[in-house]
Structure 1
Amino acid sequence: MGLHFKVPHTLILLLSMMVIALIATWLVPQGFFSTTLSDSGREMVVAGTYQTVSERHYLTPWDLLQAIPRAFAAAQDVIFFVLIVGGVLAIARATGTVDALIGRLLERHGEKPQRLIFMVVFCFALASSSIGTAGEYIPFVIILVALCKAMRLDAMTAVGMIVAGYGIGYGVSAFNPFTVLIAQQIAGIPVYSGLWLRLAIFIPFVLIGFHHVWKYTKMVANDPSKSMMIGVPCPLENQTAASYPTLALRHKLILGSFIITLAIAVWGIASKGWYLYELGGVFIAWGVVVAILGKLSADEAANKFIEGVSDLVTTAILIGVARGIALILEDGQILHSLVHGMSLPLSYVSAEISAIGMLVIQTVLNTFIPSGSGQAYVTMPLMAPLGDLVGVPRQVAVLAYQFGDGFSNMIIPTNAVLMGILGMAGVPYGHWFRFCLPLLIKLMAAASIVLVIAVMFGYGLDVQPTLN
């Protein structure tokens, strides 16, 4: 009898990673770079200032246990946003609007799922590339899972569409204010310079993501037994709709209010610096509007909201524990040591290999620093001057950071947005890892080719700062 490896529960995987992080704090040298405040008030490391600590500080298993509730507090913005969105969407489902929308989409795209998949991947990639949307996709998860279920596809397809768009959009971002703008400012090159290359590679990378999702979708459509989700309960298992309601006027009004809500959210992000607390408030307001337009009583709306929230308690727990991994590394004083140790070998290889090395380093570090802007403040002050030494233009160093941060967002379990999406869709992390790893390898290979060509043709030399 052959051995069958069973992927443990996602919570067990995350707790295991916390234990590994704790052990790493006992083995890896502890040390720090000096930091300075940037113009925006964020702490930024200073290159060439790394020093090990004079006396090692040991974390204990008791510190690990305390890190779990602290991690919940640190991730509270994402946790509460996910719970609020889940509750509000349960209200919207109670009005029949979601089912009516799915019925209309089935009429248009039921026979051509490839068109729907491309539209979703492209639109989400475009939004992430331009304004840095991520957590804002969480409201779409249940809608797309329900739509895929109606098309006899699985939840993996729904998550693939969303996450491929999100990760690729961040990776080849043209204007993202949370990654491109910050990284270029730190690197000392003009903001939004080098735009032509990022725009040129956008569609090719989107097509890589679309092809990966469509290939899996086609395989499942031809042979449902090949679905990765066999034996995994769907979050909508008991919500069957053999016939979908007609898209009535009240449904159209609710959908119109949803579009207005998204527009307000985008405006707030772009002009007011809103993030998840403000977006949570906007969605609560939309929930009230939905209840009124859908003619639900106050008690009905309250009960549906609580049902929607309770369905996502598991997701909230996973998001909180995921944050604990980075917390252990920070408390153990080895985060800067990891950055320093990984950057040292780059000074001994060619510029082209160094650029690929930067991509690998940024990819690995995103596991420990899952914030795009946070990663820029820790790594770019080191990578920019290191690039000067090994012949990698600073524009290329920024591009390597973008690729590493964006693409790995699709697979790292410390990414709270990813864990929220997987939790809402009912997709276990182990299953998702098997689906996403081949896509990540394809994107990393394509990114490596782009970086080598960029170095060979001197991409960014026109804006390279003059060194004194």
Structure 2
Amino acid sequence: MKKKIRIPDTYVIIFFVVVFAAILTYLIPVGSFTMEKIQYATETGMKTRTVPVPGSFKYALNDLGQPLVQGVPIFAAGGDMSVTNYIFEGLVSGDKWGTAVGIIAFILITGGAFGIILKTKAVEAGILNMIKKTKGSEALLIPLVFLLFSLGGAVFGMGEEAIPFAMILIPIVVGMGYDSITGIFMCYISTQIGFATSWMNPFSVAIAQGVAGVPVLSGAMFRIVMWVFFTAFGIVYTMKYAKKIKANPELSISYETDKFFRDDFKADEAEDLEFKFGHKLVFLTIFLGMSWIVWGVVFHGYYLPEIAAQFTIMGVISGIIGVVFKLNNMNVNDIAISFRKGAEDLIGAAMVVGMAKGIVLVLGGVDAGTPTVLNTVLNSVAGILSHLHASISAIAMYFFQSVFNFFVVSGSGQAALTMPIMAPLSDLVGVPRQVAVLAFQLGDGFTNMFVPTSGILMAILGIAKIEWGVWAKQQIKFQGVLFVLGSIFMIIGVLTNFQ
């Protein structure tokens, strides 16, 4: 009998990546760029960013005047970075606006808020009611939801907002006879396809174009065509996959972990859960809350702190409704208990965010003005690309941005770090700057679906109770297809001199 290969736990994978990163610090000298402030125009006015100056890279030197190799220590005192405190340093890094502290707080708060909502049993009652009313037409839900979420990714950079939707959608699609993978495609893969092919995303394409010296939000028609193509491809792929799983659920890689959702659904069916007025009020709260979030993000630039507060309000109101209408026999203490339980369910995903940030810190961080290994790698790649043909350079840029996203998953951060180097380089090799921006977009957005350093992905996998290694096994083929299709658009951009 053939022995089944056991896929390593996500924590194990990240640990070995940290070890590999630590080894690199003993082999690759550190370097930095001269930094400068630039201004670029946006729809809301002029923005300022500090970016590296092209061609300004220089190695840090040791006492002998040689390039400095700065190996990260195994242990360090005084709060300095070391291999053995990568988890702690990763968890406490950043601020409330992003990785890691902000994302971790956001994950735990939204997990808690939806823990309250799930306690009311409104989601389960709604699922049963919807399945009864849509018998035979459930498949229509897949293209509709995928399209809406892809549009959200394209228009306002929807990402973190997909986390609470996953808590609702995954149980729904499993209850309909599909699997949690289908749910993840509908509410997360869709957003990243929109994110990667956006013509107006303020958090990626607008910043990348501004930093690259390209008119902000230019080249929209090319990108809209690309968005339509990839969204249609994603819908067809998801529907074909979902049809296969519905015909034979045991083909799903998440069949075992989906047992949790199936058992819960069967219990609710046996209970013949009625969709009461109180449940409808909870759904109305969710709808109004989500509408408020979209309005705030699109028109007022709401981000993690504001959205976390909005989810807290949604959770508390849902809890009060649950107590008043005795949904699932809720009392006041159940609001606190279910909030705690919801946060507990996502603590593993929150830990991964800190661990993933630890990888970057071991390599010295992402400040282009501070001597780090990542800066040396960025400069070396730029040197290699300068000797390639235009079309090959374009694809190589796309590949590099895809790999670099493992270390810098922040779209705006990656744009500020790489675009000042890649944009002038594209001039040298005959690649339009607009195509260099495209390489960043596609490389950043598509690999967000795959890299274990993405806090949003890990949170959604945590909701679905799927290990990253299992997910990677399913994703690798899909990522390969996306890369080939993305490369074709890159070549078209070069050949048509996309401006």
Please give the TM-score of this superposition, normalised by the length of structure 2. Answer: 0.88
Instruction: For 1:48, give the aligned amino acid.
Output: G
The aligned counterpart of 2:343 is: 309
Structure 2 gap segments, 5+ residues each:
40-46, 62-67, 76-81, 94-99, 325-329, 366-370
In the TM superposition, 1:402-441 aligns within 5 A as 402-441=441-480
Aligned-pair distance for 1:349? 1.9
Which deviations, in whole Å up to 9, do the C-alpha atoms of 1:174-194 show, x marking residues without a partner? 211000110111111211111
Name the count of aligned residue pairs: 460
The CA distance in 1 between the partners of 2:378 and 2:126, in whole Å, is 47
CA distance in 2, matches of 1:113, 1:414: 34
- Hey, what's the Cα distance between the residues in 2 that align with 1:29 and 1:256? 57
In the alignment, does 2:45 pair up with 1:18? no
- Of 280, 284, 287, 1:252 maps to 280
Structure number with the higher helix fraction is 1
Partner-residue secondary structure (3-state), 1:43: strand
Distance 1:238 1:330, change over 3 A: farther
- Please name the residue that 1:59 is paired with: 72
Tell me, in whole angstroms, the C-alpha distance in 2 between the residues paired with 1:41 and 1:203.
32
Return 363-372 or 106-115, whichever deviates more.
106-115
- Matching of residues 264-275 of structure 1 within 5 Å: 264-275=292-303
2:413 aligned partner: 374
1:157 aligns with 2:191: no
**Does the 8 Å CA contact 2:25/2:69 hold for their aligned counterparts?**
no
Counterpart secondary structure, 1:196: helix
Q: How does 1:56-455 map to 2 (within 5 A)?
A: 56-62=69-75, 63-74=82-93, 75-232=100-257, 234-236=259-261, 239=264, 240-242=267-269, 245-294=273-322, 295=324, 296-331=330-365, 333-455=372-494
CA deviation after TM superposition for structure 1 residue 235, in Å? 4.9
**Counterpart-to-counterpart distance in 2, 1:35 and 1:18:** 28
> Which runs of no fewer than 5 residues in structure 1 stay unpaired?
461-468
Asked if structure 2 preserves the Cα contact closer than 8 Å seen for 1:87 and 1:305, the reply is: yes
Task: Flag the 1:123–1:420 CA change in 2: closer, same or farther, 3 A.
Answer: same
CA contact (8 A) 2:394 2:435 kept: yes
Partner of 2:78: none
- Contact 1:129–1:176 (CA<8 Å) still a contact in 2? yes
**Deviation, structure 1 residue 207:** 2.1
Contact residue 235 and residue 424 of structure 1 kept, 8 A: no
1:463 alignment counterpart: none
Tell whether the 8 Å contact from 2:352 to 2:453 is kept in structure 1 after alignment: no
Quick check: 1:109–1:116 contact (8 Å CA) kept in 2?
Answer: no
The CA deviation string for residues 365-419 of structure 1, in whole angstroms up to 9 with x for no partner, is 1111110000000111011111111111111111111111100110011111111
How far off is 1:56 after superposition? 2.1
- Corresponding position: 1:44 with 2:69: no
Q: SS in structure 1 opposite 2:386?
A: helix
Moved more, 105-114 or 409-418: 105-114
For residues 254-274 of structure 1, what are the alpha-carbon distances to aligned partners after superposition, in whole Å with 9 as ceiling and x for unaligned? 222222212222233234332
- What is the CA-CA distance between 1:121 and the residue it aligns to? 1.8
- 1:72 maps to amino acid: L
Name the SS of the counterpart of 1:368 in structure 2: coil
Contact 1:212 1:439 (C-alpha < 8 Å) held by counterparts? no
Return the offset for 1:124: 1.1
Instruction: Give the AA of the match of 1:49.
Output: S
The answer to whether the 8 A contact 2:9-2:467 is kept is yes
Match of 1:85, as an amino acid?
Answer: T
RMSD: 1.9
Question: Any conservation in 2 of the 1:186–1:380 contact (CA below 8 Å)?
Answer: yes
The worse-fitting range, judged by mean Cα deviation, of 282-291 and 270-279 is 270-279
Separation in 2 of the partners of 1:405 and 1:441?
A: 15
2:368 paired residue number: none
Identity of aligned residues (%): 34
Q: Which whole-Å CA distance do the structure 2 matches of 1:212 and 1:344 have between them? A: 38
Counterpart residue identity of residue 289, structure 2: T
CA contact (8 A) 2:22 2:71 kept: no
**Is the 8 Å Cα contact of residues 109 and 115 (structure 1) preserved in structure 2?**
no
Amino acid at match of 1:387: S
Structure 1 residues 355-364 or 84-93, which shifts more?
A: 84-93
Contact 2:245 2:251 survives alignment (8 Å): yes
